Amino acid sequence: MSLGKLIGRGNTAEVFELSDKEVLKLFYEKVQHDKSYILQSGKKI
């Protein structure tokens, strides 16, 4: 299943592919932010 479909964006494989890239980019940025926040706060995951 496409990430694009999971979040309800688009209705073609091409749009799903673009959405996947956008979702993965946003997810990666969030993970990096969360990791830096966790490291700064000294908490364990």
Question: Per residue in 4-40, pLDDT tens?
Answer: 555 555 555 555 566 778 888 888 888 888 888 878 8
Q: Which pLDDT value is given to residue 15?
A: 54
Provide the pLDDT for residue 19: 73
pTM above 0.85, yes or no: no
Specify the pLDDT at position 6.
52
Query: Residue 33's pLDDT is what?
Result: 86
CB 19 within 8 A of CB 1: no
- Residue 5, classified by CB atoms within 10 Å of its CB into exposed (0-12), middle (13-18) or buried (19+), is middle
Task: Give the residue extent of every domain in the chain.
Answer: 3-41
Residue 43 clears pLDDT 60, i.e. is over it: yes
